[in-house]
Chain A
Amino acid sequence: EDQVTQSPEALRLQEGESSSLNCSYTVSGLRGLFWYRQDPGKGPEFLFTLYSAGEEKEKERLKATLTKKESFLHITAPKPEDSATYLCAVNTDKLIFGTGTRLQVFP
């Protein structure tokens, strides 16, 4: 059965304290891995698509990387406005989401 697991469930960081979020997956046929950001009361907002091991994408303080079994979302020098839930999803002929990592960044 296709499965996506995200860790940690919750993460509290001081402003400027860099860290990484993990997304591990076991799927029969990966056709892409996606990262989304979700703010309270809103739908998920697309961040990145990764297709093959070794691929990296960057946007502002965020960098996503992909291996054959997992993906990391690296957050460099986070700011309070980066506080949100970060969702990972895999495309296996349907988009399967993980349960997310709730990130809180304190000033």
Chain B
Amino acid sequence: GAGVSQSPRYKVAKRGQDVALRCDPISGHVSLFWYQQALGQGPEFLTYFQNEAQLDKSGLPSDRFFAERPEGSVSTLKIQRTQQEDSAVYLCASSYRGFEKLLFGSGTQLSVL
């Protein structure tokens, strides 16, 4: 496709439920990033992959958050036992390499009730 694709676009979860968010980056992009954006705030860094290697996961808020990119393309962000404070937009971005010119998807809006 022409851009970064994220699914689902919207997700409503009951507190305690596990969720999985998918990101399809631009073909050939080596680097992939996950960000969390609360309403009215800037994106907050979660984690960063270069190919299949997770180079930085320092932004993951707790051990309930887990990200993977097993074949160096599609990535999944998993949140276990969701809490209300997890409600946010989760943005995925990819780049040819590193932090130069990130191209973002439209995000997944997660609402935890």
Contacts and interface: CB of A to CB of B under 8 A. Distances in A.
Asked whether A and B interact, the reply is yes
Interface of B: 4, 33, 35, 40-45, 48, 56, 58-59, 91, 93, 99-107
Interface string A83-107: 0000101010111111110000000
A99 to B, nearest CB: 5
Contacts of A42: 104, 106-107
A98 B44 CA distance: 9
A8 interface: no
Given A87-B42, A96-B45, A97-B42, A43 B4 contact: yes
A31 B48 CA distance: 17
B29 to A, nearest CB: 13
A35 to B, nearest CB: 11
B24 to A, nearest CB: 13
13 contacts: A32-B99, A43-B4, A43-B104, A43-B107, A44-B91, A44-B93, A45-B104, A46-B103, A87-B42, A94-B45, A97-B42, A98-B42, A99-B41
Contacts of B100: 32, 49
Contacts of B106: 41-43
Contacts of A46: 101-103
Nearest to A88: B42
Nearest to B107: A43
Interface of A: 4, 6, 31-32, 34, 41-46, 49, 87, 89, 91, 93-100
Contacts of A100: 41-42
A6 B99 CA distance: 20
Given A43-B93, A49-B100, 15 more contacts: A4-B42, A6-B42, A43-B106, A44-B43, A44-B93, A44-B104, A91-B99, A94-B48, A95-B33, A95-B99, A97-B35, A97-B42, A97-B43, A98-B42, A99-B41
Contacts of A31: 99
Contacts of B93: 43-44
